[in-house]
């Protein structure tokens, strides 16, 4: 365990990348996924098809390929993230959010959004049709029906599957490690290189930290579920 304790600051820094990837992609995928779900249940056929097409394409593609696309292929068609370069100084060294970090975040966001969309759609399907009809009957346009009546109720029904999606996301951030972001997985490999005899304790330590992070998400989801429960 010594090697883990010795490098605790570096490990913390690595998990800071993990958490940042998760937070940005988590918020981004929630917003994008909500828009996609709105498109898929909306009255405009072109948008319905676009939403369904997006989900089919992205959900059925391995995450690595999605991220590699933004990391290596997208710059070839002038989709570059070079304008992003944020440095957050910490006691253990700088956290640097550069074009590689951005490409990975965008990939994670786009990939996860497809799953957020479907989780929300399951919630939307759980809202009785009469709710939307009543909202339409008081003269709300589609956007208002969704925003004020359907989505708030759909969200409640979607919390458990949405939590699943976000839990998958935080674990999927390790893929960014393979593409050059110094997140937890990269640090774990680094430590094993430093002290191969401590392989098992290193694995256990990193696994334990992931368990704790995921438990935090589960706990937050559980609290949220209780808070939005209505009578």
Binding stretches for another protein (CB under 8 A): 43, 128, 130-131, 133-141, 144, 148-149, 152-153, 156, 230-231
Residue 110 or residue 145: which is nearer to another protein going by CB?
145
CB of residue 127 to another protein, shortest distance in Å: 8
CB of residue 43 to another protein, shortest distance in Å: 7
Residue 87 or residue 138: which is nearer to another protein going by CB?
138
Residue 91 or residue 139: which is nearer to another protein going by CB?
139
CB of residue 230 to another protein, shortest distance in Å: 5
Three-state secondary structure of the chain:
CHHHHHCHHHHHHHHHHHHHHHHHHHHHHHHHHHHHHHHHHCCCHHHHHHHHHHHHHHHCCCHHHHHHHHHHHHHHHCCCCCCCCEEEEECCEEEEECHHHHHHHHHHHHHHHHHHHHHHHHHHHHCCHHHHHHHHHCCCCHHHHHHHHHHHHHHHHHHHHHHHHHHHHHHHCHHHHHCCCCCHHHHHHHHHHHCHHHHHHHHHHHHHHHHHHHHHHHHHHHHHHHHCCCC
Residue 106 or residue 149: which is nearer to another protein going by CB?
149
CB of residue 141 to another protein, shortest distance in Å: 4
């Amino acid at each position: 365990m010594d090697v883990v304790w010795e490098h605790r600051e570096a490990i913390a820094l690595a998990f800071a990348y993990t958490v940042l990837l998760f937070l940005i992609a988590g918020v981004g995928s929630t917003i994008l996924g909500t828009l996609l779900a709105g498109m898929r249940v909306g009255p405009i056929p072109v948008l319905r098809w676009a939403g369904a097409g997006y989900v089919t394409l992205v959900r059925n593609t391995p995450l690595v390929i999605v991220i590699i696309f933004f990391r290596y292929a997208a710059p070839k068609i002038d989709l570059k993230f070079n304008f992003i370069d944020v440095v957050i100084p910490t006691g253990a060294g700088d956290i640097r959010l550069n074009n590689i970090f951005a490409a990975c975040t965008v990939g994670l966001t786009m990939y996860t959004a497809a799953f957020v969309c479907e989780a929300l759609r399951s919630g939307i399907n759980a809202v009785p049709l009469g709710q939307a009809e009543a909202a339409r009957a008081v003269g709300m346009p589609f956007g208002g029906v969704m925003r004020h009546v359907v989505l708030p109720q759909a969200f409640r029904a979607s919390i458990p599957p949405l939590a699943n999606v976000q839990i998958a996301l935080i674990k999927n951030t390790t893929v960014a490690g393979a593409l050059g972001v110094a997140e937890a997985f990269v640090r774990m490999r680094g430590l094993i290189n430093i002290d191969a005899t401590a392989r098992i304790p290193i694995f256990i330590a990193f696994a334990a930290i992931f368990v704790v992070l995921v438990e935090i998400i589960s706990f937050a989801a559980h609290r949220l579920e209780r808070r939005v429960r209505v009578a």
